[in-house]
A and B are shown apart, each in its own frame.
Chain A
């Protein structure tokens, strides 16, 4: 089981973490909500929970709670630009269907 990220994503995460000045890593996960059932979570982490799994990516830590991992195992986190907008994108092999916006999905 693993979660990874592209070089572009890693660079941005590193810079955002440095800018924030605190935190142990980046939480990637899912929560049950949204128009298609599940939605992604992307948050800074200040304290680890008991059920968290930590994936090292060079000097960075990707943190996933055990329950989320089932839904996003094998996911690669990417950072992309679309016009003026830029941000993170989940390339999740488990996804069966997405809502039109890509913000929530079903497995």
Chain B
């Protein structure tokens, strides 16, 4: 076993190495990366390549993934699945538009899209699982052991079905998914923006065939996707085609054969790449009459692609408008995708956002690197990590109940996503509103916990105390977002609120909160018991006073005096901190009023029955 350098105090016991990898599962190419000795790097396979074409070929007895599969994309198009990411989590009817664009045969598998291959019907999840398994294999060979977990990136606009399909693919590949991470978030993490300045971040992702612009908000170490936009049919390939048209004009070859087209495209790509560092590139191309030689300078190239780049800027403007922002609101711009190497792209982006974009990390690898950094934190290789572990709830979430007590709804260390509900009721007769105070922490009293949010449920139909059924649901999604909903059952009135419980809590603060809950455990429990008795005393006082107001006539003068005396005594001890005395006073009052309660019951039964005969009841 070869060793890697661990963070201080994080050396693993033998055979206990926590191996994790980040996977960028792309439409065209996929990569896997890992953190080793503190350094996040993409991992190369046995062929020395870190970029794996996201292509899977099914022959009648074999499954081939990557470069070898792509080599057969033309000759065996039916069985060579490219761009499977576009099919993930889609129903068959949703993919009809793609039907003529993909070279393989899409079929309807109980409403879901699938592909007919030489090895039978394969669904997108199975195809993606082959790519994931290949990447994971490279990772385990490189890291020297089985992976404990992976982080897989998905586009920010992926919906639940597409995310679930990605998770299913990972499961099928035998991988433990620590988390799905949005691609723009991964890119921002790669640049360490999570520990930097808070604010709005734009991620400009120009790949070979797609353009995505995402607007993220970083607040207290958590990235939130504010808006996404782009063009699913615009990318660096369009730059190449623009150059090809120019080359055709220059060489006079109007019609290109397939072979010529490939030659022109290769030349175009090479010109594009060379123009990143030089001002003029010369080229020569075979023509019908011989060879055409020429040059292309940077200015002309920029004119060729100018309209395409402007199109991406328009999309940026649109997405900012959607988010209600302007270019000046953006504090950082992250560049993703190979096409962002083109200098014109960089300068236009810099001009639009009025800030120099971040380009120091290879734009083809930045997403995988960010995923690797996140995977390394989530698997537990970092002690002083400032990235909060959102997979479990670090502190219990609950509600304030009468007497300033906390009622825990979701206990700490519960794995998210999670939803828990509990029923509450009204404290007073005719109560029509209820204040809900959402708190976080382990202590028994609200004052010792952290207040997260307050909201009110209004419009509860007037009912006797304890008559209303109010169901309060706490739901925490995979990104740690808490939503609390309160609903009164009979009328259906409801109110809700959303909060991010992890905001502003460092690991140290969490640790302190946990420690104090241990330290004060006994004291807290006694206080809780006292408060519970005080609340019960309050309830009894309220109920008996109401009853006296309504039905004092049912009591003799002596009884009335005794009860009043008991109430006064109860009210007095309730102020103190003698739990036992309060309990005794409550019992005494209950005992004294037993008869009164029975008489009230009889009376209400009698009044209900008046005018009715027994048979009717």
Question: A residues near B, CB below 8 A?
Answer: 12-13, 15-16, 19-20, 26-27, 31, 33-35, 39-47, 80, 82-90, 99, 101-104
**Which of chain B's residues 540-594 have a Cβ closer than 8 Å to chain A?**
none
- Residue in A84, A87, A88, A102 whose CB lies within 8 Å of B44: A84
**Which of chain B's residues 1-38 have a Cβ closer than 8 Å to chain A?**
1-11, 13-15, 36-38
Task: Return 24 A-B CB contacts under 8 Å, by A number.
Answer: A20-B39, A34-B13, A35-B14, A39-B11, A40-B3, A41-B6, A42-B5, A42-B6, A44-B5, A46-B8, A83-B141, A84-B46, A84-B142, A85-B144, A87-B2, A87-B36, A87-B37, A88-B3, A99-B14, A101-B1, A101-B14, A103-B3, A103-B14, A104-B14
CA distance A103 to B3 in the complex (A): 8
- Residue in B2, B6, B43 whose CB lies within 8 Å of A82: B2
Contacts of A35 in B (CB 8 A): 14-15
B251 touches A (CB below 8 Å): no
B11 touches A43 (CB 8 A): yes
B2 touches A42 (CB 8 A): no
- Residue in A16, A26, A46, A84 whose CB lies within 8 Å of B141: A84
Contacts of B107 in A (CB 8 A): none
Q: Which residue of chain B lies nearest to A81 when distances are taken between CB atoms in the complex? A: B2
If A12-B37, A42-B6, A85-B142 touch, whether A103 touches B1 (CB-CB below 8 Å) is yes
If A35-B14, A84-B142 touch, whether A16 touches B39 (CB-CB below 8 Å) is yes
B318 touches A (CB below 8 Å): no
Contacts of B106 in A (CB 8 A): none
B574 CB to closest chain A CB, in angstroms?
A: 54
A89 touches B13 (CB 8 A): no
B395 touches A (CB below 8 Å): no
B8 touches A27 (CB 8 A): yes
A43 touches B2 (CB 8 A): no
B3 CB to closest chain A CB, in angstroms?
A: 5
- Residue in B1, B8, B15, B141 whose CB lies within 8 Å of A45: B8
**Which of chain B's residues 587-604 have a Cβ closer than 8 Å to chain A?**
none
Contacts of A26 in B (CB 8 A): 5
- Residue in A41, A44, A87, A90 whose CB lies within 8 Å of B38: A44
Contacts of B141 in A (CB 8 A): 83-85
- Residue in A13, A15, A20, A88 whose CB lies within 8 Å of B2: A88
B138 touches A (CB below 8 Å): yes
A90 CB to closest chain B CB, in angstroms?
A: 8
Contacts of B9 in A (CB 8 A): 43
- Residue in B7, B8, B11, B38 whose CB lies within 8 Å of A31: B11
B11 touches A19 (CB 8 A): no
Contacts of A41 in B (CB 8 A): 6, 11
B143 touches A (CB below 8 Å): yes
Contacts of A42 in B (CB 8 A): 3-6, 11
B2 touches A89 (CB 8 A): yes
Contacts of B14 in A (CB 8 A): 33-35, 39, 99, 101, 103-104
CA distance A39 to B13 in the complex (A): 7
Q: Please, what's the 1-or-0 string for B133-151, where 1 marks a CB less than 8 Å from any CB in chain A?
A: 0000010011110000000
CA distance A19 to B44 in the complex (A): 20
A78 CB to closest chain B CB, in angstroms?
A: 10
Contacts of A102 in B (CB 8 A): 1
If A16-B38, A35-B14, A101-B15 touch, whether A85 touches B8 (CB-CB below 8 Å) is no
Q: A103-B14, A103-B15 are in contact. List 13 more A-B contacts (CB 8 A).
A: A15-B39, A20-B38, A27-B8, A34-B15, A42-B3, A42-B5, A43-B11, A84-B44, A85-B2, A85-B143, A87-B3, A88-B3, A88-B4
B140 CB to closest chain A CB, in angstroms?
A: 9
Counting chain B CB atoms within 10 Å of each CB, the highest count among A20, A85, A90, A99 belongs to A85
Contacts of A84 in B (CB 8 A): 43-46, 138, 141-142
Contacts of A101 in B (CB 8 A): 1, 14-15
Q: Which residue of chain B lies nearest to A41 when distances are taken between CB atoms in the complex? A: B11
B10 touches A19 (CB 8 A): no
A20 CB to closest chain B CB, in angstroms?
A: 5
B34 CB to closest chain A CB, in angstroms?
A: 11
If A19-B38, A83-B141, A84-B46 touch, whether A44 touches B2 (CB-CB below 8 Å) is no
Contacts of A103 in B (CB 8 A): 1, 3, 14-15
CA distance A55 to B612 in the complex (A): 102
CA distance A49 to B1 in the complex (A): 28
CA distance A45 to B6 in the complex (A): 10
CA distance A87 to B1 in the complex (A): 8
B142 touches A43 (CB 8 A): no
**Which of chain B's residues 371-417 have a Cβ closer than 8 Å to chain A?**
none
CA distance A35 to B16 in the complex (A): 12
Contacts of A88 in B (CB 8 A): 2-5
A44 touches B7 (CB 8 A): yes
CA distance A20 to B6 in the complex (A): 11
CA distance A103 to B8 in the complex (A): 19
CA distance A41 to B399 in the complex (A): 46
Counting chain B CB atoms within 10 Å of each CB, the highest count among A26, A84, A87 belongs to A84
Contacts of B144 in A (CB 8 A): 82, 85, 87
B135 CB to closest chain A CB, in angstroms?
A: 13
If A84-B46, A85-B141, A88-B3 touch, whether A44 touches B15 (CB-CB below 8 Å) is no
A86 touches B44 (CB 8 A): no
B37 touches A33 (CB 8 A): no
CA distance A104 to B16 in the complex (A): 12
